[in-house]
Amino acid sequence: MQTLIANVNIINPFEEIKTNQNVLIEDNLIKEVSSQKINTKDNVKIIDGGDNYLLAGFIDCHTHIFAKGFYKQENMSNPLGIHFYNAVLHASQTINAGITTIRDCGSADLSFKLAQKRKLFTAPKIHLSITPLVMTGGHFDLLLPSGFDMEIMYPGFPKGRCDGVEEVLKKTREVKRAGADFIKVMASGGVLTTNTSVEFPQFNKKELKTIVNEANANNMKVSAHCHSLKGMNNCIDVGFSSIEHGTFVDKKTAQKMIEKNVSLIPTLLVHQFLYKNGFPAWDTYAFEKTQKLKEIVKIHKENISIAYQEGVEILMGTDSGVIPHGHNLEELIHLTEIGMSADEAIASGTSNAAKFLGFNNMGLVKENYIADLILVNSNPLDDVSILSDNDNILGVFQDGTEVKN
């Protein structure tokens, strides 16, 4: 199967724009890129690029594709099947936003990955963590004071709560068995969980090191949800690969992250979105969540800017699922506001994100690279905000197949 995208301008970060190009896709790979006429098979599908701009499809490094706000009331009242049907809509919204691959940081299970591979519905490719490891009383321990446990659980989706070296070891193995590609750990309190503080670390170093050792034995990376400065340093010291959010990161910690090759996925969009739009009136915990947001929203960007200036690798992630899906590329605006160039912001969600996930043939529009691509109507190097409007994304290709037209 061949597809020819004719008459496009190719954007790869940190390279000159290639104008008036033709791109030949064969099966799932880019076979040829040329300004000259390309020889094709008789049954080639030809798409007129209309002198628009072709980029690699984006990778959102922090999503929750099954989630719809993480409202405990909905977990309690909805049939379990709604949890899965929501994911189909969320997948479509994510593709529509120009995201062809996601790294899910908790909620999705192996069924989504298999369904995407089998083309049962249009969805981004997925890098799974299944469910985060959570300490008793920690962020996303959903056992309420009433005694009711709001954590969604079903066969093939293990409960995340664990304590002590033996339990975290077993839980890491259970999550791997369930199909995880990486391990996610709640290493500090969070905005959405009552009776936790974003300033304090969770899990001790022995527990964290045990998780890393077991993950490394299986060639898996470990990621930390972490706002706390102490929590970040604990995770960096024992060998975590990434810090998610990183609200209280400082210059010294940023330097340690560079030394230890730890990436930062700040998810700037989520705090800004929640602070602006708030929580539903019926959310029993809305006031407590809002108070936490007031603590962190003002300093988050300032601290992430410090980490960027120090040279920490920053990757694009949105925490979609906490907020509505389909706004993903608004994150690029926030990344440029902390000082990143348009090239750097785009690379954080394409070529650099692909490398972080272990792909050496994804994230660029080049020959022999995977044909995950987006076609946009304006040059995002002039104004990266154009990517935040889904109407500007004219086409999306995944493994060479057009999934948005």
CATH number at residue 225: 3.20.20.140
pLDDT score of 251 more than 90:
yes
Same domain? For 51 and 63 the reply is no
Same domain? For 257 and 387 the reply is no
Same domain? For 252 and 397 the reply is no
| Range of lowest pLDDT (36-40, 95-99, 216-220) | 36-40
**Sheet with 393-398, edge to edge strand ranges:** 29-34, 18-26, 2-10, 45-56, 373-376, 393-398, 401-404
Provide the CA 399 distance to its chain's centre, in angstroms: 19
Domain hosting 193: range is 58-356
pLDDT score of 242 more than 90:
yes
- Residue 69 falls in which region: left (phi positive, over 0), alpha (psi -120 to 50) or beta: left
Are β-strands 58-63 and 99-104 bridged in parallel, bridged antiparallel, or unpaired? Answer: parallel
Kindly report the CATH number assigned to the domain that includes residue 15.
2.30.40.10
* Mean pLDDT for all residues in the chain: 95
What is the Cβ-side half-sphere exposure of residue 131, based on CA atoms within 13 angstroms? 26
The predicted-structure confidence for 277-301, as pLDDT tens digits, reads as follows 877 766 777 787 788 887 788 899 9
Same domain? For 104 and 224 the reply is yes
Provide the CA 372 distance to its chain's centre, in angstroms: 16
The arithmetic mean of pLDDT across residues 76-101, rounded, is 95
The arithmetic mean of pLDDT across residues 143-170, rounded, is 92
Same domain? For 218 and 300 the reply is yes
Same domain? For 126 and 139 the reply is yes
Same domain? For 29 and 176 the reply is no
Percent of all residues in the chain with a pLDDT value above 70, rounded to a whole number: 100
Same domain? For 391 and 317 the reply is no
Domain total for the chain? 2
pLDDT score of 346 more than 90:
yes
pLDDT in the model for residue 174: 98
Same domain? For 11 and 111 the reply is no
Same domain? For 248 and 393 the reply is no
| Range of lowest pLDDT (104-108, 142-146, 167-171, 323-327) | 142-146
Q: Do residues 385 and 376 lie in contact, with contact meaning Cβ atoms separated by under 8 Å?
A: no
pLDDT score of 77 more than 90:
no
The arithmetic mean of pLDDT across residues 213-240, rounded, is 98
Same domain? For 81 and 117 the reply is yes
Same domain? For 300 and 349 the reply is yes
